[in-house]
A and B are shown apart, each in its own frame.
Chain A
Amino acid sequence: MEIKITKNELLGGLSLVQGIVERKTTMPILANVLLEAKSKGLTLTATDLEVGVTSNLAAEVITDGRVAVHARGLYDIVKELPNETVHLTVGENQWVEISCGRAIFKVVGLSPEEFPALPKKGDGATVKLEGEIIGEMIEKTSFAMSSDETRFNLNGVYIEQEKGSDGGILRMVATDGHRLSIIEREIKGKWKLSKGVIIPRKGIYELKRLVENADGPIDVSIDEKHVVASGKGTTLIIRLIDGQFPPYKQVLPSQVKRNIAVDRQMILQVLKRVSILSVDRSRGVKFAFSPKNLEVSTSNPDLGEAREELPINYKGEKFEIGFNARYFIEVLNVMGDEQAQFQMGDDTTPCVLKSEKDKGFTHIVMPMRL
Chain B
Amino acid sequence: MENPITLHIWPRAIAHVDADAFFASVEQSLHPEYRNRPVITGAERGIVAAASYEAKARGVKRGVPLSEVTRICPDCILLPSDYETYSLFSKRMFSIMRRFTPEVEEYSIDEAFLDLTGTRRLHHTSYKEIGRMIQDEIKKELDITVSVGISLSKGTAKLCSKFRKPAGLTAVPGRHLHLLLSRTELSKVWGFGPNTCALLKKHGIKTALDFVDRPVEFVKRLLGKTGCEIWGELRGEYVNRVDTIGRLKQASISKFKTFTPPTADRGVVRARALRNLEGACIKARRYDQVAGKLIVFLRGQDFSTEGLEIRLPRPSASPVDLTGTLTELFDEIYRPGKLYRATGVVLAELVDSMPLQFGIFEEPERVMKHRSVFGAVDAIGERFGKHTVFLSDGLKIPKQHEGPRGRVARRRAEVLPGETSRQHVKLPMLH
What is the interface of chain A, defined by CB distance below 8 A to chain B?
A: 148, 150-151, 175, 177-180, 246, 251, 279, 281-282, 284, 322, 324, 348-350, 364, 366-370
CB pair A177–B355 under 8 Å, yes or no, is: no
Q: Residues of B contacting A282 with CB < 8 Å?
A: 355, 357
Residue numbers in B under 8 Å from A150 (CB-CB): 310-311, 313
The 7 closest A-B pairs by CB, nearest first: A348-B364, A284-B355, A369-B356, A368-B357, A366-B358, A150-B311, A370-B355
Q: A348-B364, A369-B354, A369-B368 are in contact. Are A177 and B311 (CB under 8 A)?
A: no
A-B contact pairs, 15 of them (CB 8 A): A150-B310, A177-B360, A178-B359, A180-B360, A279-B355, A281-B351, A282-B355, A349-B364, A366-B364, A368-B355, A368-B357, A368-B358, A369-B355, A369-B356, A369-B368
B361-A177 in contact (CB<8A): yes
> A177-B359, A177-B360, A179-B360 given as contacts; is B354 within 8 A of A370 (CB)?
yes
B interface bracket (residues with beta carbon within 8 Å of A)? 10 to 19
Let me know if B357 and A178 touch, CB within 8 A. Answer: yes
Judge whether B357 and A246 touch: CB under 8 Å: no
- A350, B360: Cβ atoms closer than 8 Å: yes
Given the complex, which residues of B lie within 8 Å of A178, measured CB to CB?
357-360
Taking the closest CB of chain B, its distance from the CB of A359, in whole angstroms, is: 22
For chain B, residues 345 to 403, give those with C-beta under 8 angstroms from any C-beta of chain A: 351, 354-361, 364-365, 368
**Alpha-carbon distance between A92 and B394 when the two chains are bound, in angstroms:** 73
Task: Give chain A residues whose Cβ lies under 8 Å from the Cβ of B354.
Answer: 369-370
Q: Mark B46-89, 1 if CB is under 8 A from A, else 0.
A: 00000000000000000000000000000000000000000000
Give Cα distance in the complex from A178 to B314, angstroms: 10
Q: Interface residues, chain B, CB within 8 Å of chain A?
A: 310-311, 313-314, 351, 354-361, 364-365, 368
Tell me the smallest distance from the CB of B105 to a CB of chain A, in Å: 23
- Asked if B355 contacts A322 (CB within 8 A), the reply is yes
Smallest CB–CB gap between B303 and chain A, Å?
Answer: 31
Task: Report B268 CB to chain A, min CB distance, Å.
Answer: 30
* Residues of A close to B351: CB separation below 8 A: 281
A246: chain B residues at CB < 8 Å are: 361
Measured CA separation A282–B292 after assembly (Å) = 14
Chain B residue at minimum C-beta to C-beta distance from A247: B361
B358 proximity list for chain A (CB < 8 A): 178, 348, 366-369
Given contacts A177-B361, A369-B355, A369-B368, 10 further A-B contacts (CB under 8 A): A178-B357, A178-B358, A246-B361, A348-B365, A348-B368, A366-B357, A366-B364, A368-B357, A369-B356, A370-B354
Dominant secondary structure of chain A at its interface with chain B: loop
Q: How near does chain B come to A250, taking the closest CB pair, in angstroms?
A: 8
Distance in angstroms from B155 CB to nearest chain A CB is 29
Tell me which residues across on chain A come within 8 A of B357, comparing CB atoms: 178, 282, 324, 366, 368
What B residues does A350 contact at CB under 8 A? 360
> How many angstroms from the CA of A246 to the CA of B365 in the assembled complex?
20
In the complex the two chains form, what is the Cα distance from A246 to B357 in whole Å? 19
* Docked pose: A282 CA to B358 CA in angstroms: 11
For the complex, what is the distance from the CA of A148 to the CA of B313, rounded to whole Å? Answer: 9
Chain A residues within 8 Å of B314, by CB:
177
**Closest partner residue, chain A, to B351 (CB atom):** A281
- Give, as a whole number of angstroms, the nearest-CB distance from A92 to chain B: 42
Q: Please give me the residue from chain B that is nearest to A349 by CB atom.
A: B364
Give the chain B neighbours of A180 by CB distance below 8 A.
Answer: 360
**B365 surroundings in chain A (CB, below 8 A):** 348
| Bound Cα distance A266, B157 (Å) | 59
In the complex, what distance in Å separates the CA atom of A251 from the CA atom of B363?
10
- In the assembled complex, the CB of A289 is this many whole angstroms from the nearest CB of chain B, namely 19
Greatest chain A CB density within 10 A among B310, B313, B357 is at B357
Residue contact A177 to B313, C-beta cutoff 8 Å: yes
Q: How far is the CA of A180 from the CA of B360 in the complex (A)?
A: 8
- From residue A125, how far is it (CB to closest CB) to chain B in Å? 33
Quick one: given A151-B313, A348-B368, A369-B368, are A175 and B355 in contact (CB under 8 Å)?
Answer: no
Residues of B within 8 A of A367 (CB): 358, 364
Q: In whole angstroms, what is the CA distance A264 to B355 when docked?
A: 26
Bound form: Cα–Cα A284–B356 in Å: 9
Which residues of A are found within 8 Å of B310, using beta-carbon distances? Answer: 150
A175: B residues at CB distance < 8 A: 360
Q: Which residue of A lies closest to B293 (CB)?
A: A150
B355 to chain A: closest residue by CB: A284
Q: How far is the CA of A367 from the CA of B354 in the complex (A)?
A: 13
Alpha-carbon distance A369/B290, docked complex (angstroms): 14
Smallest CB separation, A370 vs chain B (Å): 5
